[in-house]
Amino acid sequence: MTHLDIELKKLKEETTEMFELVLSQIRKAQLALMHFDKDMAHEVNFNEKRVNALELKIDKDCENIFALFNPVAIDLRFVLAVLKINYNLERIGDIADGIARYVIEAKTAFSSELISISRLDEMFIVASEMLQDTQISFAGEDAKVARGVFQKDDSLDQINGLANQKIESFIRKEQEQIAPALHVISTIRKLERTGDQVKNIAEEIIFFIEAKVLKHKNAG
């Protein structure tokens, strides 16, 4: 292996670690919100520092590769893809932290009816599955798995589209629940944005993998 190959391998390992950390943050934010678990919410809040530190480390390693090795062709595409993936993962980490902060500050849990009609739990599950799919596609360089993310994002958009009307009806009959209902809408928006970030990641993975496949075809 060349020095560049070693650095690229290390970069892939760090990015895989970032995927795992951010996926864990989203899942723990879900548990914290659904079970009104303030200890879990504090754990998410604490781990946000790890997410930020790892993002900076990956960014710096990408800069060093550019400066020391001047990568070209497929290696350049990989490093550019990692930069963008890293940025989007950090943004998802911020979203998980925002959800956890609400749990820390809230006085009472969401009502089970509000969670049910908004399909909030379902949104969390779909968003986590999408993120896990991109992690799998990145690790295995599988463009087909990455493409599956776009269809799942459609279901997030569908839930998001129906949520306002259902929550509005809920508020009319449960007026004391206005504040929690608005927080549910805010959380739904956050998860819809998570879907957008994951789509960005999937696009970067496809961008890199297809260039690699094309290179091998041309070489053959």
Whole-prediction pTM = 0.93
- Residue 30 — pLDDT band, cuts 50, 70, 90? very high
CATH code for the domain in which residue 36 is found: 1.20.58.220
* Structural domain span for residue 117: 3-219
- Residue 210 — pLDDT band, cuts 50, 70, 90? confident
- For the four alpha carbons of 178, 184, 188 and 191, in that order, the dihedral sign comes to positive
What percentage of the chain reaches a pLDDT higher than 70? 96
Count: domains in the chain: 1
**What is the pLDDT at residue 80?**
96
- 135-184 pLDDT per residue, tens: 999 999 999 999 999 999 998 999 988 998 899 999 998 888 899 999 99
- Residue 211 — pLDDT band, cuts 50, 70, 90? confident
**What is the pLDDT at residue 78?**
95
